[in-house]
Amino acid sequence: MYLPRQKNSSVRAGLSTEEALSNACEMLESAAVSAYDCTEYLEGSSRKQVMAVVQLIEMAQLLVEAALHRECPAA
C-alpha cells in the first residue's frame, strides 16, 4: 500500500543559493559520517551496500561543492 509522503521539513523563503548549497554540503557530510559509522557494525553484503551509499553521498557532495564554487566563487 502506498502512503503519500508527509512533509516533515521545508525550505525557508528567501534562502539564498549560497546558503542552500552550503547547508546541502553540511547535510551530505553528516550523512556520509553517519553511514561510515554504521559500517563498523556490518559485514558482508550489508556493509557493501552501506559503502555504496557512502560513495553516492560523496559524489553528490562533489556536485554540490562544484555548484557552490561556480555560483558563489567567494564561498
Using one digit for the tens of pLDDT, what is the confidence trace for 1-60? Answer: 666 667 777 878 888 989 999 999 999 999 999 999 999 999 999 999 999 999 999 999
pLDDT at 66 over 60: yes
Return the pLDDT at 75: 55
| Rounded Cα–Cα distance for residues 43 and 35 (Å) | 14
| Rounded Cα–Cα distance for residues 45 and 61 (Å) | 24
Q: What length does the chain have? A: 75
Cβ–Cβ < 8 Å for 22, 75? yes
Return the pLDDT at 58: 95
Return the pLDDT at 2: 65
